Amino acid sequence: MLKQRIITALLLLPIVVLTILYLPTPAFAMLWAVVLNLAVWEWSALARLRSLASRIIFLLVIDVALVALWFNIDLNVVTDTVIFLAAGFWACVVISLLFDITRRMSDLSSVTYRAVSVMTGVFIVIPAWLALVLLHTSQSSSVLLVFCLVWAADTGAYFAGRRFGKRKLAPSISPGKSWEGVAGGLLLSLIVVYIWSRMADMPEAEQLDFIVIAMIAVMVSIYGDLLESVFKRVSGIKDSGQLLPGHGGVMDRLDSITAAGPIFVAGYLIKDLLL
């Protein structure tokens, strides 16, 4: 499994990096929307949308929202509202997971579960698309940074968890994750963001803000992973899909990024409001 995971990652890595850095923003926005469409299709299975029609309607609703946002991408009142709503959503996710409120998901009726799942998918996907497009519009390398932070967190958590993992992070949701793994992921992410800030030759005050915002985004990204695990556990699905050998589905690879992206952007919006 590890060998297959590494091979897939090595094949995808140059494609992801090149598309982020060298595609013009409209093309990147379109490609990012296509990738998220695959994730939405997988999420519709987690949401227990059984019929083809209901899954297509869910997809169309998401796409209509993305198109509407694209044509209003220059309206700060629109984009800022979506980002702040996403930040509020992820704050609620963190609190609910910390207090194990999500265990009650399995007690919901079928209709309520579908409604909650669909709304959760909306709050996950739409702000994630907007956040990375906004970052790409400003500076494409910022998008790459978000990916690098999540990759570092995943890598550090995987190896630290395997070597030192003893205390379970969320045994009722994802038994394989440990607090030691979280520490390893945060440490590697911190190294990445520090090196990045030094390479960018940031002033010291700006560097501190940059590192704090990035690390908050990384911490929330952990809960993006856990949130998907909740829905997979309730729906009885191990992986969201099988599109990426060794990695599962598209949503399995994007769950952390969909959380980190909006939080990273929200951090800078909040910083600008405070200054």
Task: Give the tokens for residue 127.
Answer: 């702000």
Cα–Cα distance, 210 to 213 (Å, whole number): 5
Given this model, what pLDDT does residue 265 score? 97
Of 114, 81, 120, the C-alpha closest to 227 is 120
Q: Which two tokens stand for residue 10?
A: 């090595």
- Reported as a single tens digit per residue, the pLDDT across 94-131 is 998 887 766 677 778 888 889 999 999 999 999 999 99
Which of 11, 269, 27, 262 has the alpha carbon at shortest distance from 140? 27
Write down the pTM of the prediction.
Answer: 0.92
Domain that holds residue 45: 2-274
pLDDT at 270 over 70: yes
CB atoms within 10 A of CB 114: 18
Reported as a pLDDT band with limits 50, 70 and 90, residue 197 is very high
Cα(102)–Cα(110) distance, integer angstroms: 16
Task: Give the per-residue pLDDT at 221.
Answer: 96
In this predicted model, what pLDDT tens digit does every residue of 135-181 receive, in sequence order? 999 999 999 999 999 999 999 999 999 889 889 988 888 888 899 99
Nearest-10 crossing angle of helices 110-138, 204-235? 150
Residue 61's pLDDT band (cuts 50, 70, 90): very high
Domain count, the chain: 1
- How many CB atoms sit inside 10 A of residue 132's CB? 27
Say which range, 34-43, 122-131, 237-246, has the weakest mean pLDDT: 237-246
Tell me how far apart the alpha carbons of residues 174 and 227 are, in angstroms, rounded to a whole number: 10
